[in-house]
Structure 1
Amino acid sequence: MKLHLTTTAALCALAASTPAFAAPGDPVKLSDSVTIDPIVEGRLRYENVDTPSLDADALTMRLRAGFELKHASGLSVLAEAEGSLALIDDYNAFPFTIANSQRRPGFAVVGDPMTVELNRLQLQYKGKAGTLTAGRQRINLDDQRWVGAVGWRQNEQTFDAVRAEAKLGPVSIDATYANSQRTIWGIEAGPRRAFDGDFGFLGAGARVGPAQVKAFAYLLDYDAAEQVGTLAAPNADTQTYGARATAAFKLSKTASLALAASYARQFDWQDNPADYGADYVAGEAALAVGPVTLTGGYEKLGSDNGRAVQSPMATLHKFNGWADLFLTTPAAGLEDFYAGAAMKFPKFKALPGLNAAVTWHRFESDAGSLHYGEEWDASLGFKLGRANLLAKFADYNAANLGADTRKLWLQVEFAY
């Protein structure tokens, strides 16, 4: 794997010398009824990509700054700007055709373009009856399989939306209307900077015995202008209905079991020219014994009539391997069989918060009996002063989809 060794050494040295950043502080009191909470976050990351045909080296720095002003009545205003700078730019920031200097097709893709933008600007009221949020906001729903902020990338995905959350007796209600999806691609991405339309995210949940159960509906109706080659995912206008259940069981003083299961069915909708109905199925079990957690799971994004389940608003890096080969579901669908182990090291005082994890994936098609490939993912994280450090590695071995891909990340992150 080709690697800028001097860059890696410099980043490790920076991590080792990172000062003790201030811990997230309490809001500052401006009066008896008004407080202000500053927002300062930073993340420096090196990413290396190695494929048979293209490589990439990216060293990027992301900064966020803003504030949240709160009144004792429950009313608050939050404003936050975000900017990313490329210190090493041997990478292709845009995996789509665009006349921009950050599109460098001679390198592999790293989805962290340089950009400066208004990330969030929201007005919120939080009371006993519920919470109402209006404006540009971060939205993470459930496990982020359908709607998420794509927090792994340097430029966050946010939404121009109105969101209402309430609890009616034992039932929790969460309803959002959004008219703009502010993508990770930033201000220089042309029409992909944001996708406009009418988007509804609806959920209702309650506790049923030991399980937390939720029914949901996601209705995506992109504007007609967005349908002409600008959207990354095919059959973008979709309606998805389903349910999700989670439960946790204490087995002993040192052991516990967590279960999660989801089912959904996705159909074409509005201007979608396709005619299909495909199933989504997911199940996961995690057994924790002391500092060790063993996880096994299965996820299917089904295919019907040549179309597969898509989730273009999800935090996709969380799913189907960190090498990101399946950001768009193949037309034949996807089955992901995975197993992993994670361990914490609380007695290792020299590196507080030290943790390690490894996961194996096997990828198959839903239709056509294709073996796409296999992937190993591994991570190591710890704290140094007030900074969080992370190393991650992904190794995808291709069979009938894509090419062998290896990715390495070294990251330092702080927040105030």
Structure 2
Amino acid sequence: MKKRFLTRLLIIAPLCGFPAIAGATETDTAEEAPPIIDPYVDFRYRLELVDQDGFANDATASTLRIRAGVRTREWNGLSAHVQAEGIVHLGPEDFNDTVNGRGAFPVVADPEDLLLNQAYIRWQLPDRVDARVGRQVINIDNQRWIGSVGWRQNDQTFDAAFATAHPSPATSITYGYAWRVNRIFGPDSPQGIWRDNDIHMIRGSLDVENVGTISAYGYLLDIPDAPVNSSRTWGLRLTGQQPAGGDITLTYAAEYARQSDHAGHPRDFSLSYLLLQPGITAGPVALRLGYERLGGNGVDALQTPLATLHAFNGWSDKFLRTPPNGLRDLYADATIRPFRSGFLQNSAFRIAYHDFRSTRADMHYGREWNAQFTVPLRPGWSVAVKYADYDADRFATDTRKFWLTTQISF
């Protein structure tokens, strides 16, 4: 199987970006028009280690993702983008990728695959309209409700029509409609594709001077393949920053939403979401404090199934699905960029602490420490090490995860 996978990868890669620019000749110069076809390739290697209570074996996942694609030059605002993606396992499969049957190991959700990751047509009217139709990545705001799950080797993509209009420099209106969700588990997984959906994404924003960006949104999810994830969510979000003298800046985010049952959801519910996140940046140091609350009634809880979930509620991924009694996450997050020059100039240390409780019955779920060090070696090249340590109290089990990631883009 792996030999067949590599053969297919070698066949498709030249078609999606390795050769010289199509249509170029020996006489082409930098002063001439941009190339009709702009190819690119991206490599990301990751070593992921998982030590999780309840499993006799630790997981060790060594994976390589190769992306190759082409973008076309604009013509009357029209362009196209096609991207292929291959994920291969290097070494023994001592982990459960969700489709390989290795249930004695903890999950590392990076199954081996070769697929068409993106293929869409785009139309742009500068500073006015940006519209796309086809298979695409969609990231809205901080990706709490809609995101591409870029952390995993396989993106979450949408077969969708998606457009943003700017009636004025300070306003935007976004509407998207998705009929298929291509999830990170890949097409070989029973949960890898959600088909025949009726998903509406609505957002409007207004930039207010000395206040920030105020946005209102609505996400209507009708997901027949997973009806318990069908819901209707309406909300408001405020983000901004204010100078406080010298090199000090105050930052803030606040958000409130209400989610209820929709379409084929089997039960009636109505639950709230709340985020409060003040912060301060002083020179190379950025600090955020946060309170995030996802309601639960003991049977159903507020869910965000299309989000980039790894970015929220701790990197150990214990709360990818909100427990029935809800979730309250009280956290502190600090980033420091200590090096002003030299090889490590743009590197960053990040550390975070989370304390998790239920919103119903006030049960203490556990606590978690996260740490990360990222070094950009040059444009398009980076190395990162990352660690998560979840200490369980009354939810899930103690878990420790370590990642080493290197990425090279051309």
Q: TM-score, normalised by structure 2?
A: 0.88
Question: Does 1:192 pair with 2:192?
Answer: yes
Q: Secondary structure at the match of 2:196?
A: strand
Other-structure match for 1:53:
54
Per-residue CA distance 1:285-328 (angstroms, 9 max, x = gap): 22111111111001001113621100000000000000000000
Q: Secondary structure at the match of 1:317?
A: helix
Match of 2:112 among 103, 114, 125: 114
Which whole-Å CA distance do the structure 1 matches of 2:33 and 2:333 have between them? 50
Q: CA RMSD in A?
A: 1.9
Instruction: Name the aligned partner's letter for residue 402 of structure 2.
Output: L
Per-residue CA distance 1:49-93 (angstroms, 9 max, x = gap): 001222200010001001100224211010000110111321001
Instruction: Name the aligned partner's letter for residue 214 of structure 1.
Output: S
Moved more, 191-200 or 282-291: 191-200
Q: Contact 1:34 / 1:72 at 8 angstroms: preserved in 2? A: no
Question: Does 1:323 pair with 2:316?
Answer: yes
Which whole-Å CA distance do the structure 2 matches of 1:40 and 1:253 have between them? 42
Q: Secondary structure at the match of 1:50?
A: strand
Question: Does 1:134 pair with 2:133?
Answer: yes
Q: Contact 2:219 / 2:232 at 8 angstroms: preserved in 1? A: yes
Q: Contact 2:241 / 2:250 at 8 angstroms: preserved in 1? A: yes
Instruction: Name the aligned partner's letter for residue 92 of structure 1.
Output: N
Q: Report the alpha carbon displacement of residue 348 of structure 1 after superposing the two structures with TM.
A: 5.2
Question: Does 1:62 pair with 2:65?
Answer: yes
Compared CA separation, residues 382 and 32, structure 1 to 2 (3 A): closer
Other-structure match for 1:405:
399
Structure 1 gaps, min length 5: 1-25, 95-99, 228-233
Q: Secondary structure at the match of 1:90?
A: coil
Q: Report the alpha carbon displacement of residue 236 of structure 1 after superposing the two structures with TM.
A: 1.1
Question: Does 1:252 pair with 2:253?
Answer: no
Match of 2:97 among 88, 93, 96: 93
Per-residue CA distance 1:104-141 (angstroms, 9 max, x = gap): 10100001110110000000000143111100011000
1:284-295 map, 5 Å: 284-295=277-288
Which whole-Å CA distance do the structure 2 matches of 1:350 and 1:242 have between them? 43
Instruction: Name the aligned partner's letter for residue 267 of structure 1.
Output: S
Q: Contact 1:348 / 1:354 at 8 angstroms: preserved in 2? A: no
Instruction: Name the aligned partner's letter for residue 332 of structure 2.
Output: A
| Greater relative contact order (CA < 8 Å, ≥ 6 in sequence) | 1
Instruction: Name the aligned partner's letter for residue 162 of structure 1.
Output: A
Which whole-Å CA distance do the structure 2 matches of 1:37 and 1:389 have between them? 26
Other-structure match for 2:41:
40
Q: Contact 2:286 / 2:336 at 8 angstroms: preserved in 1? A: yes
Q: Report the alpha carbon displacement of residue 37 of structure 1 after superposing the two structures with TM.
A: 2.2
Which whole-Å CA distance do the structure 2 matches of 1:212 and 1:396 have between them? 34
Per-residue CA distance 1:170-221 (angstroms, 9 max, x = gap): 4310000000011001132135334431100000111234210000000000
Which whole-Å CA distance do the structure 1 matches of 2:38 and 2:243 have between them? 37
1:1-400 map, 5 Å: 32=33, 35-54=36-55, 55-88=58-91, 89-94=93-98, 100=99, 102-128=100-126, 129-169=128-168, 170-209=170-209, 210-223=211-224, 226-227=225-226, 235-304=228-297, 306-347=299-340, 349-386=342-379, 387-400=381-394
Q: Secondary structure at the match of 1:196?
A: coil
Q: Secondary structure at the match of 1:326?
A: coil
Q: Contact 2:39 / 2:71 at 8 angstroms: preserved in 1? A: yes
Instruction: Name the aligned partner's letter for residue 152 of structure 1.
Output: W
Structure 2 gaps, min length 5: 1-20
Q: Secondary structure at the match of 2:316?
A: coil
Which whole-Å CA distance do the structure 1 matches of 2:181 and 2:40 have between them? 23
Q: Secondary structure at the match of 1:235?
A: helix
Q: Contact 2:163 / 2:176 at 8 angstroms: preserved in 1? A: yes
Instruction: Name the aligned partner's letter for residue 182 of structure 1.
Output: N
Compared CA separation, residues 48 and 195, structure 1 to 2 (3 A): farther
Q: Contact 1:80 / 1:121 at 8 angstroms: preserved in 2? A: yes
